[in-house]
Amino acid sequence: MDYGESLEKAAVREAKEETSLDIELLEQLHTYSDPGRDPRFHTITTVYIARARGRPRAQDDAKNIGVFTIEDRPHPLAFDHEKILEDYLRKKRGKSGIR
């Protein structure tokens, strides 16, 4: 996020820079701020549910890119991204209780 930039604008910009996709934000899922979520340093991540247009291509500092189903996603996912994905799936199924 750049100084003076909203989270929403940063999410749209970063998606374009990293994946070449144009996205439309639908809603905010959650903000993750546990100090131990990234062993390198304390990071805060706000996750949005979005709709994408375009063909994904690795850009900027993204080394590789892929589109995966829930069943064929890479394992393990980095940091707490498995938890974030579980939270999204729980919400999609209509269950609350993001932990």
Which alpha helices (DSSP H) does 1-99 contain, by range? 7-19, 81-92
Asked whether residue 2 is assigned to any structural domain, the reply reads no
Asked whether residue 29 is assigned to any structural domain, the reply reads yes
Asked whether residue 1 is assigned to any structural domain, the reply reads no
Domain tally, the chain: 1
Contact yes or no for 54/22 (Cβ under 8 A): yes
Could you read off the pLDDT of 73-96 as tens digits, one per residue?
Answer: 999 998 999 999 999 999 999 876
Q: How far apart are CA 72 and CA 86, in angstroms?
A: 15
CATH of the domain at 51: 3.90.79.10
Asked whether residue 98 is assigned to any structural domain, the reply reads no
Range of the domain at 86: 7-92
Could you read off the pLDDT of 26-50 as tens digits, one per residue?
Answer: 999 999 999 999 989 999 999 999 9
pTM of the model: 0.85
pLDDT at 99: 58
